[in-house]
């Protein structure tokens, strides 16, 4: 059989054309001037049957370096983590992967409950009061947090650490243009936000301070000191972008006075899949609950006292009063949020903490082995599962040779920081074995 589906026949086409009162398909395009219409067949290959097409696509896909056949030390926001097998089983159910928005709670209780559980677990990890039902990705969530801080404080100046992910900073800049915000970047000192420069820029016109914890270089920011600097700036908001897996071990940002915590849950149940799609989270205080972008799921009881779930804080301005909207985000990543919720549930509190600890332990083993091999680690501060390595050769050149040896190397920091030539951001997750780490160190030594 050549078709996976039943295509329409020529008789089907003629029946439809007669029904709408036209003689042929060309009449459907009569409003388009003939001079702009294509007069010849498109330069495409002849269509293939399903079997040949699948072989061709499989051959093309095999050219990609995948995480099943390569040892990956690339992080920088997208990581190779353990995914419990139950995740794929649940998200492959048709009632989940075909669902979009659960506007009708009477037929969407399963999805609504899953999203509610996602929100609850994000609140537990961040230490904050309320979380939304997910956003497109971590960068979008961070930019939305910046916009919220400007709207809430009615200020236009935002201080952003240069240790925040460069791609997230780019999204912030895009949002800032439309909102008329002034973004002031705070340089780093020994890999973390320079507190002296932060203090100089901090004033009564500052809407918010944005840091990443752990930051882009894998280091832990001086959160307590930043909290102290902000203590006498009552209106200035503290925004933190955090890897939620790290929060399974580290003190939650809420304990340092963070008003908004955002991030990406790719680390829970979502494959790297060439950089997306992912799932952003957005958590904040009860005070800001009605300013949260996207949607929230609430728990309630029906008239018989039975537990149920609904989209709450509706009607949202994004749907109805658009001129008063706090955000242009009207959707979420429900399927990926479900994957993250299932992964977190499967791991449990102890499993999640153990997974975070394994990341820290294996990253420190890799750092030690590299130092023993004569490599220089740039920063000596506390870190989670990433650190910066100095090479003698360009990182791009080294990574090309590593790839030939079955290893996906770290991130070339010179791409975003011109003064960091030859510096590689190395990520080590719980999926890397001691043997794989030792091989990475050996091959890196041979190449460098």
With 0-12 CB in 10 A as exposed, 13-18 as middle and 19+ as buried, what is 303? exposed
Sheet-wide strand order for 376-377: 376-377, 386-390, 423-427, 411-412
Rounded Cα–Cα distance for residues 148 and 135 (Å): 14
Residues 270, 143, 388: CA angle, nearest 5 degrees = 60
Q: What is the pTM of this model?
A: 0.88
Rounded Cα–Cα distance for residues 318 and 322 (Å): 5
Q: Within 10 A of 217 (CB to CB), how many other CB atoms are there?
A: 24
Q: Cα 287 from chain centroid?
A: 25
Rounded Cα–Cα distance for residues 66 and 407 (Å): 10
Q: Is the peptide bond before 222 cis (omega within 30 degrees of 0)?
A: no
Looking at CATH, the fold of the domain delimited by 86-343 is given as 3.40.640
Rounded Cα–Cα distance for residues 283 and 272 (Å): 23
Predicted pLDDT of residue 50 = 84
Tokens, residue 199: 């203090």
Alpha carbon dihedral 250, 256, 261, 265, in 10-degree steps, equals 0
Domain locations in the chain as residue ranges: 71-83+349-447, 86-343
Q: Which residues contact 13 (CB under 8 A, 6 or more apart)?
A: 25
Predicted pLDDT of residue 311 = 85
Alpha carbon dihedral 197, 203, 209, 211, in 10-degree steps, equals 10
304-342 burial, b at 16+ Cβ within 10 Å, e below that, comes to eeeeebbbeeeebebeeeeeeebbebeebbbbbbbbbbb
Rounded Cα–Cα distance for residues 142 and 173 (Å): 11
Q: Which residues contact 107 (CB under 8 A, 6 or more apart)?
A: none
CATH for the 71-83+349-447 domain, from 3.40.50.300, 3.90.1150.10, 3.40.50.360, 3.40.140.10: 3.90.1150.10
Positive or negative: CA dihedral 63, 70, 248, 171 = negative
Tokens, residue 101: 């928005």
Q: Which residues contact 160 (CB under 8 A, 6 or more apart)?
A: 146, 169, 172, 183, 184, 185, 186, 210
pLDDT string in tens for the chain (448-residue length): 455 667 788 899 999 999 999 999 889 998 999 889 888 889 998 888 888 999 999 999 988 888 989 999 999 999 999 999 999 999 998 888 877 677 777 888 888 999 999 999 999 999 999 999 899 999 999 999 999 999 999 999 999 999 999 999 999 999 999 889 999 999 999 999 999 999 999 999 999 999 999 999 999 999 999 999 999 888 999 999 999 999 999 999 999 999 999 999 999 999 998 888 999 999 999 999 988 888 889 999 988 999 999 888 754 545 566 666 667 676 778 899 999 999 999 999 999 999 999 999 999 999 999 999 999 999 999 999 999 999 999 999 999 999 999 999 999 999 999 999 999 999 999 999 999 999 999 999 999 8
Token pair 């006292």 is found at 305
Contact 288, 148 (CB under 8 A): yes
Rounded Cα–Cα distance for residues 113 and 349 (Å): 19
Predicted pLDDT of residue 324 = 64
With 0-12 CB in 10 A as exposed, 13-18 as middle and 19+ as buried, what is 96? middle
């Amino acid at each position: 059989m050549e078709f996976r589906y039943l295509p329409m026949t020529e008789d089907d086409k003629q029946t439809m054309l007669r029904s709408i009162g036209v003689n042929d398909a060309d009449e459907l395009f009569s409003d388009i001037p003939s001079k702009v219409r294509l007069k010849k067949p498109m330069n495409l290959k002849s269509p293939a049957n399903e079997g040949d097409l699948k072989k061709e696509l499989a051959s093309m896909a095999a050219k990609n370096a995948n995480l099943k056949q390569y040892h990956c030390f690339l992080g920088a926001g997208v990581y190779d983590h353990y995914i419990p097998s139950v995740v794929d089983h649940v998200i492959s159910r048709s009632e989940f992967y075909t669902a979009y928005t659960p506007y009708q709670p009477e037929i969407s209780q399963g999805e609504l409950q899953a999203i509610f559980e996602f929100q609850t677990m994000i609140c537990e990890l961040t230490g904050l009061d309320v979380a939304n039902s997910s956003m497109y990705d971590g960068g979008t969530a961070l930019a939305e947090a910046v916009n919220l801080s400007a709207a809430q404080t009615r200020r236009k100046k935002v201080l952003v650490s240069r240790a925040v992910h460069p791609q997230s900073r780019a999204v912030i800049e895009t949002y800032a243009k439309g909102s008329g915000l002034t973004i002031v970047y705070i340089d780093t000192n020994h890999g973390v936000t320079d507190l002296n420069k932060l203090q100089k820029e901090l004033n009564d016109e500052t809407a918010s301070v944005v840091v990443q914890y752990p930051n882009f270089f894998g280091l832990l920011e001086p959160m307590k000191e930043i909290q102290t600097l902000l203590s006498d700036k009552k209106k200035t908001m503290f925004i933190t972008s955090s890897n939620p897996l790290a929060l399974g071990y580290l003190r939650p940002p809420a304990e340092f006075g963070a008003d908004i915590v955002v991030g990406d849950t790719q680390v829970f149940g979502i494959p790297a899949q060439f950089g997306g799609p992912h799932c952003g989270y957005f958590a904040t205080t009860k005070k800001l609950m009605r300013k949260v972008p996207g949607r929230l799921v609430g728990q309630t009881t029906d008239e018989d006292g039975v537990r149920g779930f609904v989209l709450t804080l509706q009607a949202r301005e994004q749907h109805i009063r658009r001129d008063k909207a706090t955000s242009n985000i009207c959707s979420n990543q429900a399927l990926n949020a479900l994957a993250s919720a299932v992964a977190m549930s499967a791991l449990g509190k102890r499993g999640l903490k153990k997974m975070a600890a394994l990341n820290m332990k294996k990253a420190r083993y890799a750092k030690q082995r590299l130092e023993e091999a004569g490599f220089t680690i740039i920063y000596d501060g506390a870190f989670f599962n990433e650190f910066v390595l100095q090479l003698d050769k360009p990182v791009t050149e080294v990574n090309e040779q590593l790839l030939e040896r079955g290893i996906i190397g770290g991130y070339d920091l010179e791409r975003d920081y011109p003064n960091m030539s030859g510096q590689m951001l190395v990520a080590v997750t719980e999926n890397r074995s001691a043997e794989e780490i030792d091989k990475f160190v050996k091959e890196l030594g041979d190449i460098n």
